[in-house]
Amino acid sequence: AQTIHQWPVAEIKAVGSPLSLGCTIKGKSSPNLYWYWQATGGTLQQLFYSITVGQVESVVQLNLSASRPKDDQFILSTEKLLLSHSGFYLCAWSLEGDYAEQFFGPGTRLTVL
C-alpha cells in the first residue's frame, strides 16, 4: 500500500526566516507529485506539480520554490518567509496519466509570526 508522509507536522517561524517542508511517498514508483496551500478559512490552491525527478512546474507564484531530488521526495522551500505564507500545506500524489485522482498527505501547519 502507498503511504505519504509530510514533515514537519507543524512549524512556527519568524518572518524573513527560511523554510523547508518535505513530503515522501512510499510504495509507488514514479508518481506525479503536487504541493497545495490553504490559508486559514481559504480555498485550497495548487502551487507546484512534478511528473519526474528534477522537474517541477509552478502553478501559482507565492515566493516559494519546489524541488524533487528523488523519485519519492518533494520539497517546498523559501529563503525568506512572509506573513502571508501562513497556512496549511499539503502534498499529494497521483498515478501517471489522465484522469488520475490525487491522494493527499496529512499536511503541515505553518504559522509565520
Partner 1 sequence: DAKTTQPDSMESTEGETVHLPCSHATISGNEYIYWYRQVPLQGPEYVTHGLQQNTTNSMAFLAIASDRKSSTLILPHVSLRDAAVYHCILRVAMQQGTGSKLSFGKGAKLTVSP
Residue 86: CB minimum distance to partner 1, A: 14
Amino acid (one-letter) located at 31: P
Q: Which of 13, 51, 65, 73 binds partner 1 (CB under 8 A)?
A: 51
Q: Is 27 in the site for partner 1 (CB under 8 A)?
A: no
- Reported in sequence order, the residue ranges of 27-64 that DSSP labels E, i.e. its strands, are 32-38, 44-52, 55-58
Q: Which of 57, 63, 80, 84 binds partner 1 (CB under 8 A)?
A: 57
Q: Is 73 in the site for partner 1 (CB under 8 A)?
A: no
Q: Is 103 in the site for partner 1 (CB under 8 A)?
A: yes
Residue 84: CB minimum distance to partner 1, A: 19
Residue 77: CB minimum distance to partner 1, A: 20
CA terminus-to-terminus distance, the chain = 38
- Answer whether 36's CB lies under 8 Å from 89's CB: yes
Nine cell digits for residue 8 = 514537519
Measure Cα distances from 94 to 13, 80, 87 in Å: 30, 30, 23
Residue 102: CB minimum distance to partner 1, A: 6
Q: Which residue is it, cell 523554510?
A: 19
Give the interface with partner 1 as residue ranges (CB under 8 A).
Answer: 32, 34, 43-46, 49-51, 57, 59, 88, 90, 92, 94, 96-107, 109
